[in-house]
Structure 1
C-alpha cells in the first residue's frame, strides 16, 4: 500500500487508546493525519462519552479507523489497547498514549526492532519542558540506570499477545503488565534506551494528581518500593549524624547518579544538561509519596482509577508464567448504544 505522495507506507498498525471528557481535536488531528500518511493502519479506540466520540469521528474518521472499545476492564486503557490489537491487520503493532508523538525515523526503528523481538520498550522524553516535566524527567534518568523506563508507548507482536490471551485490565501499571505477559508467553523484550520518542507533558494539575499513583506502581517491583520507603528514614538518620553537610553530600551523589542515567545510551542528546539537577527533588518527593502509596494500599485497598479502584499494580512474572497458558477469555463486548465504528 502506498501513501498519496507515493512513498511506501510502513506495514504496521498504530493503536491509540483514548478516553476524553472534551474533544481532543486541536491536540491530535494534525498528528493523526501525519500518521495516516506514514503507517498503513491507524486505529483510534475511543472510550469517550458519546458526544465527544462523535466529534472525534467527524474529524478523524476519514483517515483513521475510529471505533469504540469492545471489552470491559477496570483499567479502561487496557480495553482500548486490546480492542485495537484484535482489530489490527498487521502483526507489528505500535501502541501509544495520546500524548506520544512519533516521527518517521522512530517508527521505522521501532518496526525494525519488532522484526527481531516480540515487545519493544523505547524511551520517552518530554517536549516542551515546563518545570514539572523537568522534575519528572529525573524519574526517567534513574530508571535508565536499572531495567529501564516504562514509557507511554510500546511495540508488540500482535500474534504473541493474542496467543497469550491478552493481558490483565485489573492492574494499574498496564504497560509493565503487557511486557511481563509477553515474556511469560515466551516472547523476547527489546529495551531500546536509545530509541527516543517525544511525549507531551501533562498539565500541571494532572502532574500533581499523578504523584501518589506513580509511586503506587512500585508495588509491582517490591525491591524498588522498599528502597523508596527507605529514603526518608535514611535522610533523617543522615541529618541527625552529619547535619546539613551530610544531606548536601547525599544530594550531590543523587545528581551524579542522575547524570549517569542521562548519559547512558546517548541520552544526553535529548535530556538537557540541567536534568540531573532535579534528581534530589524527585527523590525527596518519592520518599514521601512511597509512604502515601503504602497507606493507600493498607487503609484504602488500592488506588482510585477513573470509576474504579485498583489494588494490584502488576502481576508478578512468576505468576504469569504459571497462568498465561490458562488465561480466561476477555469479558463480552460493552453495550455502547449510540457509539460504533466510524
Structure 2
C-alpha cells in the first residue's frame, strides 16, 4: 500500500456534553499525526476534556471571528488555520482510523485536493445495519458520504474554505472544491471504521438525514416517489411488491460486494433495505414539510434552511 511520506494533520471538531471515550484513540493518533481538537463544548466540559486528553493534542476553542450556524464548520476552519502539515484529515468524533486506512486516505491526496473515503460501522447493532443499507445503495449507485474527508491545506485556503450555514457540510465542502477548480477523488476502499450511535441518536437523525436530500434534487425526487410507488405496487398485487423489494435488496447486495465491501459489511445488511426505503419514503415528505412550514430543520437550538449549495451556485458566487 502506498503511504504518504509526510506526517499528516488530523482535525477533530467536537461538541460534547459527556465523557466521550477518546483518550485511547487520541493517544494512538497523536503518535501518527499532528492532532488538533477544536472543542465547542460548554466551559465545564471543555475543561474536563482538556484535563483528560489535552496533553496529547492541541486542544482549542473555535475561533471567535467565525459565525457559522453549523458549528462543525467553525471547528474545521479553526483547525485548518492551526495545522502545519500539508495533508489534513477531517473527521467526526465517532470515526476511528487504523494504520492502513490513515495511510491510504492521506496517500490518495497525491494528485487530488480533496479525498472522500467511505465509512462502515463496527460493531453493528440492529439500527446500524438499518443505516448500513442506505450506504450499500449509495455504493451500488455511486458513492456514500462519510463522516471524514481529507484535504490539502493549501487547497482548502486557496479555494476559500466553505459556507458554515448549511446542514450537509461535507457535501458543501466537496462541491466548493469542485466548483472552484479543485480535484476531488472518491475512495471505495479501504473503508474507515465508525462507532455506532446509540438508538436515541439514530432515531433523532432520521428526518435530518432526509433533509440532506434537499441539496440533491434527483435523489429527493426519487425518495419522494417511494410512497406513491409502493401504493401503486400494492394495487397491482403482491408479486409487484415482492419484485420491487427483491430488486432493491439485490442492488444493495451489489453495493455490499463492491470494492471489497463484503469484508466489513455484515452479510444480512442488504435485507434491511426495505425498512430503510420505508423510513426514507416517510421522512423525505416530512423534510419537505419542515422546509415549507418551519423554514428549515432544527439544529442546535436554531434552524438551518439550506442543506447545501449547488455546484452551479458556488461557481457564480
The TM-score range, normalised by the shorter chain, is: over 0.9
Per the alignment, residue 158 of structure 1 pairs with 153
2:281 matched to 1:298?
A: no
2:237 matched to 1:267?
A: no
- C-alpha displacement of 1:10: 5.2
Per the alignment, residue 314 of structure 1 pairs with 308
Task: Work out which of the residue numbers 161, 166, 172 in structure 2 matches 1:171.
Answer: 166
Moved more, 128-137 or 146-155: 146-155
2:38 matched to 1:38?
A: no
Structure 2: gaps (5+ residues): none
Mapped contact 1:177–1:314 kept (Cα < 8 A) = yes
Instruction: Give me the whole-angstrom Cα distance separating, in 2, the residues matched to 1:297 and 1:130.
Output: 32
Partner secondary structure for residue 168 of structure 1:
coil
Task: Work out which of the residue numbers 245, 258, 262 in structure 2 matches 1:251.
Answer: 245
Per the alignment, residue 142 of structure 1 pairs with 137
Mapped contact 1:9–1:38 kept (Cα < 8 A) = no
Structure 1 pair 119–9 and aligned structure 2 pair: CA distance change class (3 A)? closer
Instruction: Give me the whole-angstrom Cα distance separating, in 1, the residues matched to 2:277 and 2:218.
Output: 16
Instruction: Give me the whole-angstrom Cα distance separating, in 2, the residues matched to 1:97 and 1:72.
Output: 20
Structure 1: gaps (5+ residues): 1-7, 324-342
Moved more, 55-64 or 205-214: 55-64
Partner secondary structure for residue 291 of structure 2:
helix
- C-alpha displacement of 1:101: 0.1
Instruction: Give me the whole-angstrom Cα distance separating, in 2, the residues matched to 1:72 and 1:205.
Output: 29
Mapped contact 1:10–1:38 kept (Cα < 8 A) = no
Write out per-residue CA displacement over residues 201-236 of structure 1, whole angstroms, 9 at most, x where no aligned residue: 101000000000000000010000000000000110
Instruction: Give me the whole-angstrom Cα distance separating, in 1, the residues matched to 2:164 and 2:295.
Output: 17
CA RMSD, aligned part only?
1.2
Per the alignment, residue 102 of structure 2 pairs with 107
2:53 matched to 1:60?
A: yes
Instruction: Give me the whole-angstrom Cα distance separating, in 1, the residues matched to 2:162 and 2:216.
Output: 18
Partner secondary structure for residue 108 of structure 2:
helix
Structure 1 pair 224–166 and aligned structure 2 pair: CA distance change class (3 A)? same
Per the alignment, residue 3 of structure 1 pairs with none
Per the alignment, residue 84 of structure 2 pairs with 89
Partner secondary structure for residue 114 of structure 1:
coil
Partner secondary structure for residue 197 of structure 1:
strand
Write out per-residue CA displacement over residues 83-124 of structure 1, whole angstroms, 9 at most, x where no aligned residue: 001111012100000000000111111111012211111110
Per the alignment, residue 186 of structure 2 pairs with 191
2:211 matched to 1:208?
A: no
Write out per-residue CA displacement over residues 159-198 of structure 1, whole angstroms, 9 at most, x where no aligned residue: 1111122101110000000011111121111110112100
Instruction: Give me the whole-angstrom Cα distance separating, in 2, the residues matched to 1:126 and 1:293.
Output: 25
Matches for 1:20-31 after TM superposition, within 5 Å:
20-24=16-20, 27-31=21-25
Per the alignment, residue 12 of structure 1 pairs with 8
